[in-house]
Amino acid sequence: MQRWKWFCISILLVVIFVNKFDSVQGSPNSLIPIIESPVSEIHSLVGLAFNLSFVIIDDDPRNYSLQQGVQGQLISTGYIESRFLEFEINYVPLGNYSYTLYVMDYSGNTANKTILVYIELESETTSESYPTEPAKATSFEFHFILLGYLCFIYIMRKRR
């Protein structure tokens, strides 16, 4: 029994090691980056700052560009140092705006996510934002759960 516990632990460590180090930056992949955001719309009052938050899901993200409006006025650009990006947008005049985050990984795959912003004189809604669908589990979490399930089944069979 003790031997099987160590076997399951060693398999788990191998999966973690492989998942952590199998994506070397610059290695070609065909996976498109995924951009998640807790909101799809933001309602704010004139004169108040608001934050745009994003989570980047990709093995090797490279750089980002945040643009405002249809003409694509550049707000921010740079290299992705963290999977979580947050931008504080200061004073924006009364009106409706769209902010689009563009992401590119080292393989040249691109993705974008748009958030609509409504700047109002008075609060017309009781909520500051409207949640979108919940974040999806990453492949690492799926592999971890699957491995745990398989070890559980194997241990239960050995007990019989």
pLDDT digits (tens, 9 = 90+) for 16-47: 655 554 444 445 667 889 999 888 899 888 88
Taking the C-alpha atoms of residue 60 and residue 37, their distance in angstroms, rounded to an integer, is: 19
Annotated domain spans of the chain: 2-159
Taking the C-alpha atoms of residue 110 and residue 19, their distance in angstroms, rounded to an integer, is: 22
Question: Which CATH number applies to 2-159?
Answer: 2.60.40.10
pLDDT of residue 125: 53
